[in-house]
Amino acid sequence: MSAGVTGFVGLGNMGIPMSRRLVQAGYRVRGFDTSAEAMGNFAGIGGGEAGGGVTAVAKLTSVGDGADAVILMLPDSDVVEHVLLSAGLLAALPAGSTVIDMSSSDPARTRVLAERTAAAGVTLIDAPVSGGVAGARAGTLAVMVGGPAAAFERFRPMLSAIGSRVVHAGDVGAGHAVKALNNLLSAGHLLLTSEALIAGRRFGLDPAVMLEIINAASGRSASTENKWPNFVLTEKYDAGFAIRLMVKDLKLALGIEHATGVPALASEAVLATWEAALADLPPDSDHTTIARWLGEREAKDQ
């Protein structure tokens, strides 16, 4: 039996595997993207054994037709607001609809936008994810949800098709706040891991052996367990998250820290380093390339 219809806007690196997970769970997904290549990839998902399938729509304003909810998987708040307000998606949605913003958006702007959508009779909840492209493909994403408890419970089964951990973080905007702060930690871990492993290699240690030891010790993190072994040592640098997006999220996290009066000396140093890397690298470089950038920069400084 079909689980219902879901609209989906933003069919990129994350949107395609997330849509595929919904189809496999029996959802019929109506998808839209401004990229013809993305729309072709979406159409290639086909149907699922549980009765789900895809429909590619030619107009953004048609994506919510017959849908229980419309998911947005977009780069930032600017694009989210453009899609909902300037491009007319909100005006095309019937009263009683729900928009689920799974983008990494600004939590303060999310709260303001939720007021705008509520005035139109539409509920907005935020549900950003962590786990990268691999997590999206495997359905193991962490999903952090902000919004009314009733809306969370209503859409928890659908979100559970996308992620293995779906947690209600609090009121609207809470999910986006947690996501920004999570990425601050992730960015800090990757910097420290890279500096430590580069130092160890120059000392004469084998980075792979170092990782084996660290991952059984107290210094382990997602960077030592996943990013360095799978994307840095292999020199693939293709985790699927652009460095410009990491810098954007770091600025959001710093904004939260500053607004709440938290001393942010370490966080500011992390942001400064990432901004320096972004200034040297193409903005769409994978964020794991910061490890290569650090090694090259430190080599030049010697």
CATH assignment at residue 144 = 3.40.50.720
Give the burial string for 75-87 (b: 16+ CB within 10 Å, else e). Answer: bbbebbbebbeeb
On average, the pLDDT of the chain sits at: 95
Mean pLDDT of 260-284: 97
**∠ Cα 69 74 176 (to 5°):** 80
pLDDT band at 298 (very low <50, low <70, confident <90, very high): low
- 125, 148, 170 - which closes a domain: 170
Distance CA 256, CA 55 (A): 39
Give the total number of structural domains in the chain.
Answer: 2
248 is catalytic: no
DSSP code for 282: -
> What are the helix (H) ranges across 100-242?
107-119, 132-138, 149-160, 174-203, 207-214, 222
- 170, 185, 211 - which closes a domain: 170
Same structural domain for residues 76 and 197? no
Distance CA 42, CA 182 (A): 29
Q: Are 29 and 57 in contact (CB under 8 A)?
A: no
- For the stretch 79-133, pLDDT in tens is 999 999 999 999 999 999 999 999 999 999 999 999 999 999 999 999 999 999 9
pLDDT band at 300 (very low <50, low <70, confident <90, very high): low
Could you give the percent of the chain with pLDDT greater than 70? 97
| Inter-CA distances, 171 with 135, 144, 178, Å | 25, 11, 12
pLDDT band at 301 (very low <50, low <70, confident <90, very high): low
CATH assignment at residue 262 = 1.10.1040.10
Q: Give the model's pLDDT for residue 46.
A: 85
Same structural domain for residues 165 and 181? no
Same structural domain for residues 126 and 226? no
Higher pLDDT, 138 or 301: 138
Domain containing 245: what range? 177-301
pLDDT band at 172 (very low <50, low <70, confident <90, very high): very high
Distance CA 87, CA 93 (A): 12
Mean pLDDT of 55-63: 96
- 119, 139, 170 - which closes a domain: 170
pLDDT band at 50 (very low <50, low <70, confident <90, very high): low
Same structural domain for residues 8 and 63? yes
Same structural domain for residues 140 and 11? yes
Residue 150 CA to its chain's centroid (Å)? 24
SS3 content of the chain, % helix, strand, coil (to 5): 55, 15, 30
Mean pLDDT of 228-240: 96
Closest to 186 in 3D by CA, of 227, 219, 125, 156 = 227
DSSP symbols for 162-179: TEEEEEEEESTTHHHHHH
Q: Give the model's pLDDT for residue 1.
A: 39
Same structural domain for residues 10 and 116? yes
Same structural domain for residues 142 and 13? yes
* CA torsion angle 149 152 156 160 (round to 10): -120
Q: Give the model's pLDDT for residue 299.
A: 59
Same structural domain for residues 203 and 284? yes
Determine which one of 59, 179, 236, 248 is catalytic. 179
Same structural domain for residues 218 and 166? no
Same structural domain for residues 40 and 187? no
pLDDT at 68 over 80: yes
Q: What is the 3-state secondary structure (H, E, C) of 68-112?
A: CEEEECCCCHHHHHHHHHHCCHHHHCCCCCEEEECCCCCHHHHHH
Residue in the block written with tokens 């949107």:
15
Same structural domain for residues 12 and 150? yes
Same structural domain for residues 253 and 147? no
3-state secondary structure of 127: coil
Distance CA 302, CA 297 (A): 9
Residue in the block written with tokens 């210094």:
219
